[in-house]
A and B are shown apart, each in its own frame.
Chain A
Amino acid sequence: MALTRTAGAVTPAPAGARERGRRPARRRERTALLPTAILLLGAVYCLLPVVWVLTASTKDNAQLFNTFTFEPNGSLWSNVRSLSAYAGGVYWHWMANTALYAGGGALLSTVVSALTGFALAKYRFRGRSLLFNLLLAGVMVPPVVLALPQYLLMSKVGLVGSYWSVLLLSVLSPYGIYLARIYSMSAVPDEVIQAARVDGCPERKLITRIAVPMMVPGLVTVFLFQFVAVWNNFLLPFIMLSDENKFPLTVGLYTLLNRGSTAPALYSLVVTGSLLSIVPLVILFLVLQRYWRTDLAAGSVK
């Protein structure tokens, strides 16, 4: 127990947003109008497509083409129903697949990143810096360059087109390992490790019972970054999968749009599908706001 409390003290303070509001100097100063206006303009620009998809998805196909798209109509529910009915409900397959790829991939990725990051930060072993440099170099390999040979190799072992072809390739995250390494450096004090060893704690227990629990806040961040990365991934599933029932949302909606260019009747389905596809991530992002710790990445720059 005492050990965990030490960790709390070492854990970097959460992003400064909250203490900002409490700063007494901020009482009631005159509002700087122009800077506030510029900032708001940025916010409007960023919200524009989101507001558009909200209103556009309330339109049936005729309204989509004939009415001002920022003016809401009442067809959202019927759009959702025709989207659900499209090709035997394939849209919800895509949604479930995306959750599987992103959730499963990110979970496995977090475990691998935690172990590797911890080892790189806290052990001294032969090949440590070689491994770290190789992993860093791995960040720089463009995914497309890998995607083609990965596809060819996957087809050699007969995995192309399976869930595994996407899932297995979503596990290794050099960036996640890098974050886990930085985080375990600051969150797991050397003294704690030594004290555990002096007390005769076996190494496996030291990692699973002491180190990993101390790293949890950072690991949530690693999980979220990888979750978003897999959720956003298009190229890999686009190349690997051919069965519509295994598509994630990105590939599914892309093919739907592709069909829409010859059958514009599908456009309202694409719009509604786009809206529904961003809802889970936006919720996740708002609920877990405090875990979007970009300062972990920026921490190395301080």
Chain B
Amino acid sequence: MTNPSRVRPAWGARTRTAPRLAPYVCVTPAVVLFVLFLLLPIGYALFMSFQKSQVSGLGLGAGARRQVFAGLSNYATELTDAAFTSSLLRVVIYSVILVPVMLGLALLFALLLDARRVRLQRFSRLAIFLPYAVPTVIASLLWGFMYLPTVSPFPPVLARLGLTMPNLFTTHVALLSVANIGVWGGTGFNMIVLYTSLRSVPAELYEAARIDGASQTQIALRIKIPMIAPALVLTGVFSVIATLQVFNEPQTLAPLTNTISPDWMPLMRVYDLAFNDNDVYGAAALSMMIAVVMFILSYSLLRVSNRRVFQGR
């Protein structure tokens, strides 16, 4: 029948009595939704990315605009567009800043939650996880107001210390200001994931080290961090993917400053192209390129951690 090394005995036993139809009935809704709202749109975007609108005659009337095959011209246009390449560079820098800071803090807090002799752990765990319950748009609104010198609570505090608040929306600082919102919103969730996997490390592992006189820091560095390495890799992969798709935070902050242009980040550029410039074809080509990059990136990143992540349970 099937290769016995690949099939667990329980499966073989079940196939004898399992009905054939039931699994298909169960997965039908998901498959229908998947085809209608995922495969079809992707196919359609792919199709549109090779099309362009051609104006015939004077461009008046309903029939004046036709959709014609455009080859790779949409791709070429976008790839050579300076606004796009600079937004691409910007998002990479953004990710390189945000992910290590966020995961570093998440790991630090997770270790502190797991450490002995540290107080107020329950309160801190709740407080740090709380931003997860705040939508990114709302988080950006709140931080945006706190960045605005006129309503910010910081200038009076800084004035007491003899300092003035720097402009948080200058060309370079704006990236950090947006990254801060990402750190604020993402640290708690990752902290909980890491903390949970720390809790599953058997305590006996630490006992021996402690009896041998290892300090808490040594235990954390030499035992705990290596033990949760798979969880760290996984949170890292998902964080990189998520940060490269940043949209809500800069889009929300944009009304507060001119520094954040409508094409500041790649996904903002897609939106801008499709809905402000009415170039759905260019936007489709851009979407496809971003999708391919994302896919290659996540696939290769996941492959690295694959063996540990998807086996076992």
Residues on A close to B: CB < 8 A?
Answer: 15-17, 20-21, 25-26, 29-32, 35-36, 38-40, 42-50, 52-53, 56, 64-65, 68-70, 111-113, 115-116, 118-120, 122-125, 128, 131, 134-135, 137-138, 140-146, 148-153, 168-169, 171-172, 177, 182, 185-186, 190, 193-194, 197-198, 203-204, 207, 228, 231-232, 234-235, 239, 249-250, 253-254, 257-258, 260-261, 267, 270-271, 274, 277-278, 281-282, 284-286, 289, 292, 294-295, 297-302
Contact = CB atoms under 8 A, between A and B. Distances in A.
Given A254-B137, A260-B255, A140 B299 contact: yes
Given A17-B122, A50-B130, A116-B30, 4 more contacts: A123-B23, A135-B30, A138-B34, A142-B245
A190 B18 CA distance: 11
A48 to B, nearest CB: 8
A190 B14 contact: yes
Contacts of A39: 109, 112-113, 118, 120-121, 124
13 contacts: A40-B120, A46-B131, A46-B187, A53-B142, A112-B30, A124-B23, A141-B295, A168-B37, A171-B33, A172-B30, A239-B275, A254-B251, A254-B252
A261 B255 contact: yes
B139 interface: yes
A42 B38 contact: no
A177 B230 contact: no
A172 B44 contact: no
B38 A146 contact: yes
Contacts of B118: 31-32, 35-36, 39
B74 to A, nearest CB: 13
Contacts of B245: 142-144
Nearest 4 interchain pairs by C-beta: A123-B23, A119-B26, A149-B41, A16-B199
A16 B312 CA distance: 21
A141 B127 CA distance: 31
Contact of B133 (A182, A267, A278): A278
A111 B29 CA distance: 10
A46 B128 contact: yes
B119 to A, nearest CB: 5
Nearest to A198: B17
B48 interface: yes
Interface in B139-168: 139, 141-146, 150-153, 156
Chain B contact residues: helix, strand, loop or mixed: helix
A277 B44 contact: no
B270 interface: yes
Interface string B83-126: 00000000000000000000001001100110111111111111
Interface of B: 10-11, 13-15, 17-24, 26-27, 29-31, 33-34, 37-38, 40-42, 44-45, 48, 105, 108-109, 112-113, 115-139, 141-146, 150-153, 156, 184, 187-189, 192-193, 196-197, 199-200, 216, 230-231, 234, 241, 245, 247-248, 251-252, 255-256, 267, 270-271, 274-275, 280, 283-284, 287-288, 290-291, 294-295, 298-299, 308-310, 312-313
Contacts of B192: 292, 294
Contacts of A140: 241, 294-295, 298-299
A295 B26 CA distance: 26
A46 B127 contact: yes
Given A46-B184, A141-B291, A190 B44 contact: no
Nearest to A206: B22
Chain A contact residues: helix, strand, loop or mixed: helix
B197 A35 contact: no
Contact of A197 (B17, B119, B139, B274): B17
Contacts of A302: 197, 200, 312-313
B34 A172 contact: yes
Contact of B14 (A52, A152, A193, A281): A193
Contact of B138 (A43, A228, A277): A277
Contacts of A143: 245
Contact of B112 (A16, A38, A150, A197): A38
Contact of B134 (A21, A52, A153, A281): A281
Contacts of B270: 144-145, 148
A289 B42 CA distance: 37
Candidate in A134, A203, A294, A301 with the most chain B CB atoms within 10 angstroms: A301
B104 to A, nearest CB: 12
Given A45-B184, A116-B29, A253 B137 contact: yes
A152 B34 contact: no
B19 A203 contact: yes
A52 B142 contact: yes
Contacts of B130: 46-47, 50, 282, 285
Given A42-B109, A194-B17, A134 B40 contact: no
Contact of A232 (B129, B136, B230): B136
